[in-house]
Amino acid sequence: MFKSIEKILSALKDHKYVADRALATIVYLAQALKKPILLEGEAGVGKTEVAKVIAQALSTKLIRLQCYEGLDMSTSLYEWNYSKQMLGIKMEKTKGSSKKEIENTIFSEKYLLRRPLLEAIQANSPLPRVLLIDEIDRSDEEFEAFLLEVLSDFQITIPEIGTIKAKKRPFVLITSNRTRELHDALKRRCLYHWIEYPTFEKEYEIVMTKIPEIRETLATQICNFMQKIRQRDFHKKPGIAETLDWAQALIALNKDDLDKKTMEQTLGCIFKYNVDISKFKVEFEED
Protein backbone atom coordinates (compact mmCIF):
# COMPACT_ATOMS: atom_id res chain seq x y z
CA MET A 1 0.00 0.00 0.00
CA PHE A 2 1.12 3.53 -0.61
CA LYS A 3 2.53 5.27 2.40
CA SER A 4 2.15 8.89 1.37
CA ILE A 5 1.11 11.18 -1.43
CA GLU A 6 4.74 11.76 -2.34
CA LYS A 7 5.34 8.01 -2.54
CA ILE A 8 2.45 7.74 -4.95
CA LEU A 9 3.82 10.51 -7.14
CA SER A 10 7.22 8.87 -7.33
CA ALA A 11 5.80 5.38 -7.83
CA LEU A 12 3.67 6.62 -10.72
CA LYS A 13 6.65 8.41 -12.18
CA ASP A 14 8.76 5.27 -11.92
CA HIS A 15 6.18 3.57 -14.08
CA LYS A 16 6.27 6.38 -16.59
CA TYR A 17 3.00 8.02 -15.66
CA VAL A 18 3.17 11.74 -15.11
CA ALA A 19 0.58 12.58 -12.49
CA ASP A 20 -0.20 15.80 -10.74
CA ARG A 21 -0.61 16.15 -7.03
CA ALA A 22 -4.38 16.21 -7.30
CA LEU A 23 -4.48 12.71 -8.70
CA ALA A 24 -1.96 11.41 -6.17
CA THR A 25 -3.98 12.94 -3.34
CA ILE A 26 -7.14 11.30 -4.44
CA VAL A 27 -5.44 7.93 -4.87
CA TYR A 28 -4.12 8.25 -1.37
CA LEU A 29 -7.51 9.15 0.05
CA ALA A 30 -9.19 6.34 -1.84
CA GLN A 31 -6.80 3.92 -0.27
CA ALA A 32 -7.26 5.34 3.20
CA LEU A 33 -11.04 5.60 3.09
CA LYS A 34 -11.53 2.49 0.99
CA LYS A 35 -13.73 4.40 -1.40
CA PRO A 36 -13.77 3.93 -5.17
CA ILE A 37 -12.48 6.68 -7.43
CA LEU A 38 -14.69 8.05 -10.17
CA LEU A 39 -12.50 9.38 -12.95
CA GLU A 40 -14.03 11.60 -15.58
CA GLY A 41 -12.37 13.44 -18.37
CA GLU A 42 -12.09 13.86 -22.10
CA ALA A 43 -11.06 10.98 -24.28
CA GLY A 44 -7.41 10.13 -24.32
CA VAL A 45 -6.24 11.91 -21.18
CA GLY A 46 -5.10 8.81 -19.39
CA LYS A 47 -8.01 7.56 -17.33
CA THR A 48 -7.58 3.88 -18.11
CA GLU A 49 -3.82 4.24 -17.99
CA VAL A 50 -3.94 5.32 -14.35
CA ALA A 51 -5.45 2.02 -13.30
CA LYS A 52 -2.84 0.03 -15.15
CA VAL A 53 -0.02 2.00 -13.62
CA ILE A 54 -1.41 1.78 -10.10
CA ALA A 55 -1.64 -1.97 -10.44
CA GLN A 56 1.95 -2.11 -11.59
CA ALA A 57 3.11 0.19 -8.83
CA LEU A 58 1.37 -1.97 -6.22
CA SER A 59 2.71 -5.11 -7.87
CA THR A 60 -0.74 -6.52 -8.10
CA LYS A 61 -3.03 -7.76 -10.79
CA LEU A 62 -5.35 -5.47 -12.71
CA ILE A 63 -8.87 -6.78 -13.16
CA ARG A 64 -10.66 -4.97 -15.90
CA LEU A 65 -14.39 -4.84 -16.51
CA GLN A 66 -15.21 -3.11 -19.78
CA CYS A 67 -18.77 -1.81 -19.71
CA TYR A 68 -21.20 -1.81 -22.58
CA GLU A 69 -24.91 -1.57 -23.00
CA GLY A 70 -26.54 -4.79 -21.95
CA LEU A 71 -23.80 -5.74 -19.53
CA ASP A 72 -25.47 -7.62 -16.72
CA MET A 73 -24.80 -9.96 -13.88
CA SER A 74 -24.02 -13.00 -15.96
CA THR A 75 -21.41 -11.21 -18.01
CA SER A 76 -19.93 -9.18 -15.20
CA LEU A 77 -20.18 -11.37 -12.15
CA TYR A 78 -20.55 -15.03 -12.90
CA GLU A 79 -22.27 -17.55 -15.04
CA TRP A 80 -22.64 -21.27 -14.86
CA ASN A 81 -20.94 -23.20 -17.58
CA TYR A 82 -24.15 -24.70 -18.89
CA SER A 83 -22.73 -26.95 -21.53
CA LYS A 84 -20.22 -28.42 -19.12
CA GLN A 85 -23.00 -28.90 -16.61
CA MET A 86 -25.14 -30.79 -19.07
CA LEU A 87 -22.28 -33.13 -19.85
CA GLY A 88 -21.62 -33.46 -16.16
CA ILE A 89 -25.20 -34.50 -15.55
CA LYS A 90 -24.95 -37.17 -18.18
CA MET A 91 -21.75 -38.50 -16.73
CA GLU A 92 -23.13 -38.62 -13.24
CA LYS A 93 -26.19 -40.38 -14.47
CA THR A 94 -24.19 -43.17 -16.00
CA LYS A 95 -22.38 -43.52 -12.70
CA GLY A 96 -25.76 -43.90 -11.10
CA SER A 97 -25.54 -40.96 -8.74
CA SER A 98 -28.56 -39.69 -6.95
CA LYS A 99 -30.17 -36.40 -7.73
CA LYS A 100 -28.56 -34.79 -4.73
CA GLU A 101 -25.12 -35.98 -5.74
CA ILE A 102 -25.61 -34.70 -9.24
CA GLU A 103 -26.64 -31.33 -7.96
CA ASN A 104 -23.65 -31.08 -5.70
CA THR A 105 -21.33 -31.90 -8.52
CA ILE A 106 -22.60 -29.62 -11.19
CA PHE A 107 -23.04 -26.67 -8.92
CA SER A 108 -19.52 -26.63 -7.69
CA GLU A 109 -16.78 -24.13 -8.37
CA LYS A 110 -15.41 -26.16 -11.25
CA TYR A 111 -18.49 -25.38 -13.27
CA LEU A 112 -18.53 -21.71 -12.41
CA LEU A 113 -17.39 -19.17 -14.97
CA ARG A 114 -15.79 -16.33 -13.12
CA ARG A 115 -16.31 -12.91 -14.58
CA PRO A 116 -14.25 -9.88 -13.52
CA LEU A 117 -16.31 -8.81 -10.52
CA LEU A 118 -16.21 -12.25 -8.99
CA GLU A 119 -12.51 -12.44 -9.66
CA ALA A 120 -12.08 -9.23 -7.77
CA ILE A 121 -14.10 -10.51 -4.83
CA GLN A 122 -12.46 -13.88 -4.64
CA ALA A 123 -8.92 -12.63 -4.98
CA ASN A 124 -6.82 -14.70 -2.71
CA SER A 125 -3.57 -12.84 -2.50
CA PRO A 126 -2.01 -10.80 0.28
CA LEU A 127 -2.20 -7.72 -1.88
CA PRO A 128 -5.58 -6.28 -2.80
CA ARG A 129 -6.25 -6.21 -6.50
CA VAL A 130 -6.99 -3.19 -8.62
CA LEU A 131 -10.45 -3.32 -10.17
CA LEU A 132 -11.02 -1.08 -13.17
CA ILE A 133 -14.61 -0.54 -14.27
CA ASP A 134 -14.09 1.13 -17.60
CA GLU A 135 -16.56 3.45 -19.32
CA ILE A 136 -19.41 2.87 -16.98
CA ASP A 137 -21.53 5.39 -18.83
CA ARG A 138 -21.87 2.84 -21.60
CA SER A 139 -23.75 0.46 -19.36
CA ASP A 140 -27.33 1.05 -18.35
CA GLU A 141 -29.08 2.07 -15.14
CA GLU A 142 -29.84 -1.46 -14.05
CA PHE A 143 -26.21 -2.34 -14.15
CA GLU A 144 -25.32 0.74 -12.15
CA ALA A 145 -27.74 -0.27 -9.43
CA PHE A 146 -26.32 -3.76 -9.42
CA LEU A 147 -22.78 -2.43 -9.27
CA LEU A 148 -23.68 -0.20 -6.37
CA GLU A 149 -24.79 -3.23 -4.42
CA VAL A 150 -21.61 -5.09 -5.11
CA LEU A 151 -19.42 -2.11 -4.29
CA SER A 152 -21.04 -1.49 -0.95
CA ASP A 153 -20.35 -4.83 0.69
CA PHE A 154 -18.12 -6.64 -1.76
CA GLN A 155 -20.10 -9.70 -1.01
CA ILE A 156 -22.31 -11.70 -3.28
CA THR A 157 -24.57 -14.64 -2.93
CA ILE A 158 -24.60 -17.42 -5.45
CA PRO A 159 -27.73 -19.40 -4.59
CA GLU A 160 -26.21 -22.75 -5.31
CA ILE A 161 -22.95 -22.15 -3.50
CA GLY A 162 -23.49 -19.62 -0.80
CA THR A 163 -22.24 -16.21 0.16
CA ILE A 164 -18.82 -15.14 -0.96
CA LYS A 165 -17.22 -12.23 0.79
CA ALA A 166 -14.07 -10.47 -0.25
CA LYS A 167 -11.20 -11.00 2.10
CA LYS A 168 -9.47 -7.87 0.90
CA ARG A 169 -11.35 -5.04 -0.71
CA PRO A 170 -9.87 -4.25 -4.07
CA PHE A 171 -8.85 -0.79 -5.06
CA VAL A 172 -11.63 0.36 -7.35
CA LEU A 173 -11.39 2.80 -10.22
CA ILE A 174 -14.40 3.75 -12.30
CA THR A 175 -14.04 5.75 -15.49
CA SER A 176 -16.68 7.59 -17.44
CA ASN A 177 -16.76 9.49 -20.70
CA ARG A 178 -19.70 11.62 -19.69
CA THR A 179 -21.98 10.43 -22.44
CA ARG A 180 -24.78 10.25 -19.93
CA GLU A 181 -25.51 11.24 -16.35
CA LEU A 182 -24.56 8.69 -13.76
CA HIS A 183 -26.82 7.85 -10.90
CA ASP A 184 -26.47 10.04 -7.87
CA ALA A 185 -26.03 7.13 -5.51
CA LEU A 186 -23.04 5.91 -7.45
CA LYS A 187 -21.46 9.32 -7.57
CA ARG A 188 -21.88 9.72 -3.85
CA ARG A 189 -20.11 6.44 -3.23
CA CYS A 190 -16.98 7.62 -4.96
CA LEU A 191 -14.27 10.18 -4.71
CA TYR A 192 -14.46 12.32 -7.78
CA HIS A 193 -11.69 13.46 -10.03
CA TRP A 194 -11.79 15.25 -13.33
CA ILE A 195 -8.75 14.87 -15.53
CA GLU A 196 -8.28 17.93 -17.67
CA TYR A 197 -6.27 18.18 -20.84
CA PRO A 198 -2.64 18.65 -19.77
CA THR A 199 -0.85 21.95 -19.58
CA PHE A 200 2.11 22.52 -21.84
CA GLU A 201 4.56 21.64 -19.08
CA LYS A 202 2.75 18.46 -18.17
CA GLU A 203 2.40 17.29 -21.73
CA TYR A 204 6.04 18.05 -22.40
CA GLU A 205 7.03 15.99 -19.40
CA ILE A 206 4.83 13.13 -20.56
CA VAL A 207 6.38 13.15 -24.01
CA MET A 208 9.89 13.25 -22.62
CA THR A 209 9.11 10.47 -20.16
CA LYS A 210 7.48 8.11 -22.60
CA ILE A 211 9.69 8.86 -25.58
CA PRO A 212 13.10 9.65 -24.14
CA GLU A 213 14.82 9.54 -27.50
CA ILE A 214 12.92 12.53 -28.86
CA ARG A 215 14.72 15.78 -29.42
CA GLU A 216 13.70 18.53 -27.06
CA THR A 217 13.04 21.06 -29.78
CA LEU A 218 10.68 18.71 -31.55
CA ALA A 219 8.90 17.89 -28.33
CA THR A 220 8.44 21.58 -27.61
CA GLN A 221 7.03 22.20 -31.06
CA ILE A 222 4.64 19.29 -30.79
CA CYS A 223 3.36 20.35 -27.38
CA ASN A 224 2.92 23.95 -28.41
CA PHE A 225 0.96 22.83 -31.40
CA MET A 226 -1.29 20.59 -29.34
CA GLN A 227 -2.05 23.38 -26.91
CA LYS A 228 -3.17 25.58 -29.77
CA ILE A 229 -5.27 22.87 -31.34
CA ARG A 230 -7.17 22.16 -28.17
CA GLN A 231 -8.26 25.72 -27.86
CA ARG A 232 -10.12 25.51 -31.11
CA ASP A 233 -13.48 23.96 -31.57
CA PHE A 234 -12.87 20.60 -33.17
CA HIS A 235 -15.30 17.75 -33.23
CA LYS A 236 -12.92 15.45 -31.43
CA LYS A 237 -10.03 17.14 -29.76
CA PRO A 238 -6.89 15.03 -29.65
CA GLY A 239 -5.79 13.65 -26.33
CA ILE A 240 -2.42 12.69 -24.95
CA ALA A 241 -2.55 9.36 -26.75
CA GLU A 242 -2.66 11.21 -30.05
CA THR A 243 0.25 13.44 -29.05
CA LEU A 244 2.37 10.40 -28.31
CA ASP A 245 1.32 8.67 -31.53
CA TRP A 246 2.24 11.70 -33.50
CA ALA A 247 5.61 12.06 -31.80
CA GLN A 248 6.40 8.43 -32.57
CA ALA A 249 5.34 8.91 -36.17
CA LEU A 250 7.57 11.93 -36.59
CA ILE A 251 10.51 10.07 -35.15
CA ALA A 252 9.85 7.15 -37.45
CA LEU A 253 9.92 9.59 -40.36
CA ASN A 254 13.26 10.87 -39.08
CA LYS A 255 11.99 14.39 -38.69
CA ASP A 256 13.75 16.64 -36.24
CA ASP A 257 11.70 19.65 -37.03
CA LEU A 258 8.08 20.38 -37.64
CA ASP A 259 7.41 21.89 -41.02
CA LYS A 260 4.15 22.51 -42.75
CA LYS A 261 4.47 19.65 -45.20
CA THR A 262 5.20 17.06 -42.54
CA MET A 263 2.34 18.34 -40.50
CA GLU A 264 -0.11 17.91 -43.33
CA GLN A 265 1.12 14.42 -44.04
CA THR A 266 0.76 13.26 -40.50
CA LEU A 267 -2.56 14.88 -39.64
CA GLY A 268 -4.12 11.46 -39.44
CA CYS A 269 -2.31 10.84 -36.19
CA ILE A 270 -4.00 13.74 -34.53
CA PHE A 271 -7.43 13.97 -36.07
CA LYS A 272 -9.68 11.00 -36.53
CA TYR A 273 -12.49 12.72 -38.34
CA ASN A 274 -12.36 14.05 -41.84
CA VAL A 275 -14.27 17.19 -40.86
CA ASP A 276 -11.61 18.06 -38.37
CA ILE A 277 -8.87 17.66 -40.95
CA SER A 278 -10.73 19.92 -43.37
CA LYS A 279 -11.43 22.44 -40.66
CA PHE A 280 -7.80 22.41 -39.67
CA LYS A 281 -6.62 22.98 -43.21
CA VAL A 282 -8.97 25.91 -43.60
CA GLU A 283 -8.24 27.57 -40.29
CA PHE A 284 -4.52 27.10 -40.14
CA GLU A 285 -3.69 28.37 -43.60
CA GLU A 286 -1.68 31.16 -42.09
CA ASP A 287 0.47 28.94 -39.91
The binding site for another protein (CB under 8 A) comprises 4-5, 21-22, 25-26, 28-29, 32-33, 35, 38, 40, 69-70, 72, 74, 80, 82, 85-86, 89-90, 93, 99, 102-103, 140, 142, 178-181, 184, 187-188, 190-194, 235, 275, 279
Tell me how far, at minimum, the Cβ of 30 lies from another protein, in Å. Answer: 8
- Please, which residue, 85 or 227, has the CB nearer to another protein? 85
Do residues 181 and 141 make contact, with C-beta atoms less than 8 angstroms apart?
Answer: no
Nearer to another protein, 215 or 235 (CB): 235
Least Å from the CB of residue 217 to another protein: 32
Distance CA 27, CA 195 (A): 13
Q: How far is the CB of 33 from another protein (least distance, A)?
A: 6
Comparison of 14 and 141: residue with beta carbon closer to another protein: 141
In the bound state with another protein, the residue whose beta carbon lies nearer, of 2 and 246, is 2
Query: Can you tell me the distance from the alpha carbon of 189 to that of 133, in angstroms, rounded to the nearest whole number?
Result: 14
Question: Minimum Å distance from CB 72 to another protein?
Answer: 7
Following DSSP, what letter does each residue of 215-270 receive, concatenated? -HHHHHHHHHHHHHHHHS--SS---HHHHHHHHHHHHHTT-SS--HHHHHHTHHHH
Helix (H) or strand (E) holding 134: strand 130-134
AA letter at 60: T
